[in-house]
Amino acid sequence: MVKANAFLPGLEGVIAAETAISLLDTDLGQIIIKGHDLIQLSTQNDYLDIVHLLLEGSLPTEAERKASEAKLKSGYEVPEGVTTILRALPKNTHPMDALRTGISALGGYDAVLDDRATSVNKKRAYEVLGKIPNVVANSYRILNEQETVSPLEELSYSGNFLYMITGKKPTELEERIFDQSLLLYSEHEMPNSTFTARVIASTQSDMYGALMGAVASLKGNLHGGANEAVMHMLLEAKTVEGFEEMLKSRLANKEKIMGFGHRVYMRKMDPRALIMKEALKELCDLKGDQSLYEMCEAGERLMEQEKGLYPNLDYYAAPVYWMLGVPIPLYTPIFFAARTIGLCAHIIEQHDNNRLFRPRVEYTGDRPAL
């Protein structure tokens, strides 16, 4: 029993909010999204279905799905003023900082920015979701002095997103796997970025401000960025043997190995990682080169044996994105883009049932003399 007002570092195990959005049921190994199992959804549904589920509360009919897609596509274009701001950023700007700046700039174009009505917030969420792929892809292109790419409405939402990143239309398999990755990243209960967004929203700040805070949170390498670190390790190691030696060396030096372990999945593999592991095998089979898959499997076995740690989603998402032709610096922005729908759902829920977050502290400093 935790005593009243007990200090728990990192708010470990503290219930911070009531929500009808999602739950990580570690006993059953389920990620529950609005009453549905996320892993099951990832094999039967696509990202647009999750958008409707999180914003409207149910999986869509075919007509509802088409309506949701139309809402997103109507918001694809980004105001020229936002692009001008992105062009003014220094070329060494981190892609997550460019994304944060782009989201901030979008807020200036919202004519009803101070309206917190549920219907307005939902409309706002569709607008932001429509524009996020454009901001992610073209901010990176601008920073790297590449030509910007216009969205292609004839492609699916996920197909267009991947096209804007790579500059080529994806195959059916590439589109399906990328869409599946977005779905798996879409919502995950109360990680730091979601908590940050809810804390900001609790002040009655607007959706753009809450999303900006979430970007800043996700940029931290203890939250986002693991997928990028995993890919750099794989590329540096080159072979199964090289990867095993690298991991052993880092463990001997007591270094943290990115892509393994999770604050919630402490004694089992992240179920989302299993789905991306299967996707990686599909892509490697198609290419006729199993090296990345074999390296990842070897690393998975070694970390379980040596540390009792299991892969999280980032571990297998990284090589999947590499096989899809996604530049490594965009891995974390894509994570955020996928999570935007979950964040928007939490922001709306916070606005609809609000109480300002105002925790207390356990003071460890000096006191004035009596």
pLDDT tens-digit map of 225-275: 899 999 999 999 999 999 999 999 999 999 999 999 765 655 678 899 999
For residue 99, the model assigns a pLDDT of 98
pLDDT classification of 3: cutoffs 50, 70, 90? low
pLDDT tier at 140 (50, 70, 90 boundaries)?
very high
Please check the confidence at residue 135 and state whether its pLDDT lies above 50: yes
Q: Predicted confidence band at 4 (pLDDT cuts at 50, 70, 90)?
A: low
Q: CA angle, corner 318, sides to 316 and 322, nearest 5?
A: 120
**Residue 342, C-beta contacts closer than 8 angstroms, at least 6 positions apart:** 21, 22, 54, 186, 187, 188, 194
Report how far residue 85's alpha carbon sits from residue 101's, in angstroms, rounded to the nearest whole number.
8
**262 flagged as catalytic:** yes
For the record, the structure tokens of 127 come out as 């607008």
- CA torsion 168-174-176-179 (nearest 10°) is -70
State the pLDDT at residue 131: 98
Domain ranges of the chain: 30-221+339-352, 226-323
Task: Give 244's Cβ-side CA count (13 Å radius).
Answer: 12
Cα(43)–Cα(247) distance, integer angstroms: 32
2 against 326, higher pLDDT: 326
Residue range 162-187, pLDDT digits in tens: 999 999 999 999 999 999 999 999 99
220: its two tokens: 């931290």
pLDDT attached to residue 268: 79
Choice among 36, 188, 262, 351 that is catalytic: 262
What per-residue confidence (pLDDT) applies to 203?
A: 98
Structure tokens at 49: 């279905």
* pTM for this entry: 0.95
Q: Taking residues 45-56, report their average pLDDT.
A: 98
Mean of pLDDT over the chain: 95
Judged on CB neighbours under 10 Å (0-12, 13-18, 19+), 242 is: middle
Q: Is the pLDDT of residue 207 over 90?
A: yes
Query: Which homologous superfamily is 30-221+339-352 in?
Result: Citrate Synthase, domain 1 (1.10.580.10)
Q: What is the per-residue pLDDT for 1?
A: 45
- Per-residue pLDDT, 27: 78
Q: Is the pLDDT of residue 280 over 80?
A: yes
The whole-number average pLDDT for the span 291-304 is 97
> Between 313 and 28, whose confidence is greater?
313
**Topology at the third CATH level for domain 226-323:** Cytochrome p450-Terp; domain 2 (1.10.230)
Catalytic, out of 46, 49, 179, 314: 314
